[in-house]
Amino acid sequence: MKAAIRLTYGPPETLSIREVEKPVPSDNEILVRVHASTVNRTDVAVLTGKPYIMRFFTGLSKPTLPSTGTDFAGIVEAVGNNVQTFKPGDRVCGFDDQGLGSHAQYLALPATKAIITIPENITFEQAAASMEAAHYAINFLNKLEIKAGQNVLVNGGTGAIGSAMIQMLKNKGATVTATCRTEHLEQVRALGAQKVIDYTREDFTQENQQYEYVFDAVGKSTFGKCKHLLKPCGIYISSELGPGWQNPFLALYTPLTGGKKVLFPLPTNIKASLAHIREMWEQGAFLPMIDKRFPLENIAEAFTYVASGQKVGNVVLTMD
Ligand SMILES: NC(=O)c1ccc[n+]([C@@H]2O[C@H](COP(=O)([O-])OP(=O)(O)OC[C@H]3O[C@@H](n4cnc5c(N)ncnc54)[C@H](OP(=O)(O)O)[C@@H]3O)[C@@H](O)[C@H]2O)c1
């Protein structure tokens, strides 16, 4: 089978497509014929080993897994003797933010990992693109009590996390304002944002509007710049550490001062997120935004594009 392989941390050029042995599932594993995966921002960190903190999870001096890939969607081809939860023929998808080695045509992984079956109305590409960013969006939103009618700002409405978050906020009845560049205004409105600010023409931090929550889904702003946009007990959440890595410290300090505060939730419980994603699919309440598709052979190009910070939603990698 073909797999994207690298033996050291480094740029996309360290990856090459190689013929490797098809894995054989152990008693507790399933073997999946991967149809689609994505190249996402977490994959970029797994590939480059940056930020360095990532290496505590993916291998200190060199990557533990030779293949990249954190998510997959495909068909179960075989199951180990002890596996009761899946059977050959099941359409499944899954995610692990520490890496799965899923940029490959086949994947053997423990059946106890975060894996769900894919409903018939969802394609493999949609399933793979529903994993990483939606998991992070869920983990930002489930720390809050968002009520219908509350005003929420999402900076970066076309990011993978931002576009998932807008749909989830809409499901909760929030009134969403989002930012994006001119050519994406209609796309972001279609996701459920009531107001869209073109960040190439207007600075959202100069708005008069106040919000219960400000989500910086692309980490391009700071709490300092957004504080005046928050209502008295408003909350600022960013998907990034901040330019001086200040967000984790502000998340410890600001709750002690009363009033406006910063939250920096660490994404956990991938299984719960995947169960929630499946529910939203069934309710027709969430579909991932998909940008470009790349065949496995062009994986280095896909990584370069994703690392540029300009992808619009999710970038799909096809294995067929
Ligand atoms: N905390 C975590 O565990 C975690 C996990 C994954 C990712 N992240 C971080 O979260 C961030 C978002 O990831 P993602 O995959 O959702 O992002 P992404 O898809 O790579 O975001 C790209 C989008 O950002 C938009 N953008 C660029 N500059 C902007 C600006 N100044 N204002 C508003 N939008 C702007 C672009 O929109 P236009 O095309 O409209 O310009 C582009 O569509 C990244 O910084 C990533 O490193 C954090």
Q: Answer whether 199 contacts ligand 1 (Cβ < 6 A).
A: yes
Those residues with Cβ within 8 angstroms of residue 304's Cβ, 6 or more apart along the chain or in another chain: 12
**Predicted local confidence at residue 115, as pLDDT:** 98
Q: Answer whether 315 contacts ligand 1 (Cβ < 6 A).
A: no
**Predicted local confidence at residue 320, as pLDDT:** 81
CA angle 139, 282, 164 (to 5 degrees): 35
Burial status of residue 1 (CB atoms within 10 A of its CB: 0-12, 13-18, 19 or more): middle
**Predicted local confidence at residue 45, as pLDDT:** 96
Protein residue with least CA distance to atom 20, ligand 1 = 309
Strand order in the sheet with 175-180: 195-198, 175-180, 151-155, 211-216, 230-238, 261-263
Residues of the chain with pLDDT under 70: none
Q: Answer whether 55 contacts ligand 1 (Cβ < 6 A).
A: no
What's the 239 CA to ligand 1 centre distance in angstroms? 8
Q: Which of 197, 203, 239 to mutate to test the pocket of ligand 1 (most atoms within 8 A of CB)?
A: 239
What's the 257 CA to ligand 1 centre distance in angstroms? 30
Q: How far is CA 217 from CA 33, 153, 310, in A?
A: 33, 10, 13
**Predicted local confidence at residue 17, as pLDDT:** 98
Q: Answer whether 312 contacts ligand 1 (Cβ < 6 A).
A: yes
Which residues, in sequence order, are bridge partners of residue 205?
none
- Tell how far CA 73 is from the center of its chain: 15
Q: Is the pTM here over 0.75, yes or no?
A: yes
Q: Are 39 and 48 in contact (CB under 8 A)?
A: no
Hey, what domains does the chain have and what are their CATH numbers?
A: 2-132+269-318 (3.90.180.10), 144-263 (3.40.50.720)
Q: Which of 39, 40, 41, 136 to mutate to test the pocket of ligand 1 (most atoms within 8 A of CB)?
A: 41
What's the 221 CA to ligand 1 centre distance in angstroms? 11
What's the 310 CA to ligand 1 centre distance in angstroms? 8
Q: Answer whether 310 contacts ligand 1 (Cβ < 6 A).
A: yes
